[in-house]
A and B are shown apart, each in its own frame.
Chain A
Amino acid sequence: MMSVAVTAISSSLSYSPLLLPSQGPKRRMQWKRNDKRQFSRKVAVSGVITAGFELKPPPYPLDALEPHMSRETLDYHWGKHHRTYVENLNKQIVGTDLDTLPLEEVVLLSYNRGNMLPAFNNAAQAWNHEFFWESIQPGGGGKPTGELPRLIERDFGSFEEFLERFKSAAASNFGSGWTWLAYKANRLDVANAVNPLPKEEDKKLVIVKTPNAVNPLVWDYSPLLTIDTWEHAYYLDFENRRAEYINTFMERLVSWETVSTRLESAMARAVQREQEGTETEDEENPDDEEPEVYLDSDIDVSEVD
């Protein structure tokens, strides 16, 4: 039985089902509300009112990732691309139902089960890029320590095998998109399907490729690490040589410390949700031992002929 290092978690944001269509177990917000974010309306110099998301700077100076990711890339990638997503999102959602919600909620709501609403692209890209800058650090790379390498070995065979698969996924994600390492609990491998009989061994690390702005939050996975493979992420430094960018990213940039912290939170969240889920189940189905997944057992199949 896997032992889980549980960090103390403050109560996660409980989310009203009024705003989300019901889809099995109540979707719980994964990330603490970012209290640093201002909810007040911003009034720009021009007098245009915008919603309150702010462009957060990376947790290091813009030139700190040189020579592996140039200052010029950060200037454009963070200073223009990421900034534009945030600014356009604010303009797009001001005065709407999505206004004043935390970013993750905007992403999930606008994903709208795959029939994306207009705000999704900007919201998800704003989220993805903040997550991306925090996934890397100066002096990054190397190997993870602690619980993470154990899970990597369990789920991929070895760190080398994981690296191979992750890099291959990132290299083969045609077009624009992202490649993720994520923690999956209580979900089947088919997007959005809830695992009806969740077991401990269903909780695992997975590598997923997503197109354009999509991220694994929409499938209720916990993202741990991402690499941006939109061309703007690497073109100034590597031109078309995406494979070289991916190698550099894994060898010199990835912040395993951050990934480990995210894993701890993800595993703790999964445990907590399980406990809450068990309590709810006991209330709703006091007589059932297992949730029913098949047709009524009193249909006599022999009568069908």
Chain B
Amino acid sequence: MAIRCVASRKTLAGLKETSSRLLGFRGVQTFTLPDLPYDYGALEPAISGEIMQIHHQKHHQAYVTNYNNALEQLDQAVNKGDASTVVKLQSAIKFNGGGHVNHSIFWKNLAPVNEGGGEPPKGSLGSAIDTHFGSPEGLVKKMSAEGAAVQGSGWVWLGLDKELKKLVVDTTANQDPLVTKGGSLVPLVGIDVWEHAYYLQYKNVRPEYLKNVWKVINWKYASEVYEKECN
């Protein structure tokens, strides 16, 4: 009983605002696909409506579905004391759970131009960026370069190291969340560099996608997260 509560509460705490909770048959909390706060076509021309729709309705939905399945199987295995199965499920949980975590952040990292998308960061985050990277342009250049250099699938992040109290740029492979690179890292901005994030529009030219995605980055949201973590 105790294990089930720990598994539910800790892992799901971060997603309170974005996913509605349904109590499954055994009390395992399941996840649902969060709605986008804007229309699929609202990020054009930076990201096409076609990509947004498939990315949200197909890719993210698949992560959610498979994550729920894996958690259900995990619950059963834990209750049976089936250690082998618990271990076997870890990669599916990491991959699909990570996919859900990352994409939930990503949708909030984006905003239409007429809702602030692309407006440079202000306030304390703006100052911190100037301090650590010289200027927003300096940060963008670094993140774009590292995002382009990711081999295969992954993400490029602007994160806050809560303990060291500084901003960091880092990359993760596949669907690994930023926290896998350091327990004190809080994601502020994540950019998906999996091919599915840009291929239909930009084909093999990932640097072009990275150049354009900044026009719809929602720095207001990143600032909110930053300020909350700093207080």
Q: A and B bound?
A: yes
- Interface residues, chain A, with chain B CB atoms under 8 Å away: 76, 80-81, 84, 121, 174-177, 211-213, 230-232, 235-236, 239-240
Write out the residue numbers on chain A whose beta carbons fall within 8 Å of the beta carbon of B54: 239-240
B167 to chain A: closest CB distance in Å? 27
Write out the residue numbers on chain B whose beta carbons fall within 8 Å of the beta carbon of A230: 152, 195
Take A176-B153, A211-B152 as given contacts and tell me if A232 and B173 are in contact as well, using a CB distance cutoff of 8 Å: no
In contact, B151 and A80 (Cβ under 8 angstroms): no
In contact, A175 and B173 (Cβ under 8 angstroms): yes
A146 to chain B: closest CB distance in Å? 36
Q: Does B200 contact A (CB under 8 A)?
A: yes
Pick the residue among B58, B95, B153, B175 that contacts A231 (CB under 8 A): B153
Give the tally of cross-chain contacts (CB within 8 A). Answer: 51
Q: Mark B50-87, 1 if CB is under 8 A from A, else 0.
A: 00001000110010000000000000000000000000
In contact, A239 and B58 (Cβ under 8 angstroms): yes
Q: A239–B48 Cα gap in the complex (Å)?
A: 14
Pick the residue among A176, A177, A236 that contacts B199 (CB under 8 A): A236
Q: Does B174 contact A (CB under 8 A)?
A: yes
Q: Does B142 contact A (CB under 8 A)?
A: no
In contact, A80 and B58 (Cβ under 8 angstroms): no
Q: A164–B89 Cα gap in the complex (Å)?
A: 20
Take A175-B173, A231-B195 as given contacts and tell me if A236 and B200 are in contact as well, using a CB distance cutoff of 8 Å: yes
Within 8 A of A (CB), among B167-216: 173-175, 194-196, 199-200, 203-204
- Interface residues, chain B, with chain A CB atoms under 8 Å away: 54, 58-59, 62, 91, 95, 151-154, 173-175, 194-196, 199-200, 203-204
Question: Other CB < 8 Å A-B pairs besides A84-B204, A174-B175, 6 of them?
Answer: A174-B95, A213-B151, A230-B195, A231-B199, A239-B200, A240-B196
In contact, B152 and A175 (Cβ under 8 angstroms): yes
Residue of B nearest to A76 (CB): B203
Pick the residue among A174, A177, A211, A236 that contacts B91 (CB under 8 A): A174
In contact, A80 and B152 (Cβ under 8 angstroms): no
Write out the residue numbers on chain B whose beta carbons fall within 8 Å of the beta carbon of A239: 54, 58, 200
Write out the residue numbers on chain B whose beta carbons fall within 8 Å of the beta carbon of A231: 153, 194-196, 199
In contact, A240 and B58 (Cβ under 8 angstroms): yes
Pick the residue among B154, B175, B200 that contacts A235 (CB under 8 A): B200
A188 to chain B: closest CB distance in Å? 22
Write out the residue numbers on chain A whose beta carbons fall within 8 Å of the beta carbon of B62: 240
Q: A175–B54 Cα gap in the complex (Å)?
A: 17
In contact, A240 and B153 (Cβ under 8 angstroms): no
Q: A236–B196 Cα gap in the complex (Å)?
A: 10
In contact, A240 and B152 (Cβ under 8 angstroms): no
Write out the residue numbers on chain B whose beta carbons fall within 8 Å of the beta carbon of A84: 204
Pick the residue among A121, A174, A235 that contacts B195 (CB under 8 A): A235
Take A230-B152, A240-B54, A240-B59 as given contacts and tell me if A175 and B203 are in contact as well, using a CB distance cutoff of 8 Å: no
Residue of B nearest to A125 (CB): B151
Write out the residue numbers on chain A whose beta carbons fall within 8 Å of the beta carbon of B58: 239-240
In contact, A232 and B151 (Cβ under 8 angstroms): no
Pick the residue among A81, A177, A236 that contacts B152 (CB under 8 A): A177
In contact, A80 and B203 (Cβ under 8 angstroms): yes
Write out the residue numbers on chain A whose beta carbons fall within 8 Å of the beta carbon of B91: 174
Q: A236–B174 Cα gap in the complex (Å)?
A: 20
In contact, B151 and A121 (Cβ under 8 angstroms): yes
A-B pairs with lowest CB-CB distance, top 8:
A176-B152, A231-B195, A175-B174, A212-B152, A175-B153, A240-B58, A80-B204, A174-B95
Write out the residue numbers on chain A whose beta carbons fall within 8 Å of the beta carbon of B203: 76, 80
Q: A235–B55 Cα gap in the complex (Å)?
A: 12
Write out the residue numbers on chain B whose beta carbons fall within 8 Å of the beta carbon of A176: 152-153, 195
In contact, B153 and A232 (Cβ under 8 angstroms): no
Pick the residue among A121, A174, A175, A232 that contacts B204 (CB under 8 A): A232
Write out the residue numbers on chain B whose beta carbons fall within 8 Å of the beta carbon of A81: 204
In contact, B151 and A235 (Cβ under 8 angstroms): no
Q: A236–B201 Cα gap in the complex (Å)?
A: 10
Residue of B nearest to A122 (CB): B151
Q: A121–B95 Cα gap in the complex (Å)?
A: 23
Write out the residue numbers on chain B whose beta carbons fall within 8 Å of the beta carbon of A236: 199-200
Write out the residue numbers on chain A whose beta carbons fall within 8 Å of the beta carbon of B152: 175-177, 211-213, 230
Write out the residue numbers on chain A whose beta carbons fall within 8 Å of the beta carbon of B95: 174
A275 to chain B: closest CB distance in Å? 40
Write out the residue numbers on chain A whose beta carbons fall within 8 Å of the beta carbon of B175: 174-175
Write out the residue numbers on chain B whose beta carbons fall within 8 Å of the beta carbon of A175: 152-154, 173-175, 194
